[in-house]
């Protein structure tokens, strides 16, 4: 047997501190990535809902054009009248019930949507005797930023 003292291997305090520091930076970075990913996911979720609302409103306007072109055309204006849709489109029976005006900065929202953050507007402008330009915009504010989903279309009289 050898009586020599075997040197034991161990971590020094500095090595442990460096390891813990690197590990903590990794966890902070991972938490930041998860936070940003969740924030972007929520914004994208609201963008999908806003797109559905814009499509729904555009389809409703197309149906109103088909029901009565004359009334639809008279609801439009050369300067562009803005109509605010504070409720579900299905609660508005026809285009004659619409009153032009800005939705304003504060929006009550669409019933049943939580949080009620969406503002829907349709701008109708006439161009010629048989053409109405339609701009549907759904807007919402989130985390101090404004987001908007616009849809443009040209509706004409088909005979």
Burial class (CB in 10 A: 0-12, 13-18, 19+), 32: exposed
Say if residue 71's pLDDT is above 70.
yes
Residue 115 confidence class, pLDDT cut points 50, 70, 90: very low
What's the pLDDT at 81? 83
pLDDT grade for 93, boundaries at 50, 70 and 90: low
Answer yes or no: pTM beyond 0.85: no
Continuous H helices in the chain: 13-67, 69-75
- Beta pairing partners, 84: 121
Taking the domains of the chain in order of start, what are their residue ranges? 13-156
């Amino acid at each position: 047997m050898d009586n020599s003292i075997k040197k034991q291997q161990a971590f020094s305090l500095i090595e442990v501190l460096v390891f813990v520091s690197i590990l903590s930076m990794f966890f902070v970075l991972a938490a930041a990535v998860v936070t940003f990913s969740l924030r972007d996911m929520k914004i994208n979720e609201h963008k999908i809902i806003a797109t559905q609302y814009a499509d729904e409103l555009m389809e409703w306007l197309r149906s109103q054009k088909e029901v009565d072109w004359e009334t639809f055309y008279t609801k439009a204006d050369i300067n562009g009248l803005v109509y605010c849709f504070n409720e579900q489109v299905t609660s508005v029976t026809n285009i004659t019930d619409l009153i032009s005006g800005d939705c304003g900065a504060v929006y009550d929202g669409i019933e049943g949507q939580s949080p009620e953050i969406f503002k829907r507007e349709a701008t109708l402008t006439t161009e010629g005797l048989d053409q109405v330009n339609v701009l549907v915009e759904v807007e919402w504010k989130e985390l101090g930023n404004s987001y908007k989903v616009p849809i443009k279309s040209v509706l004409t009289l088909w005979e």
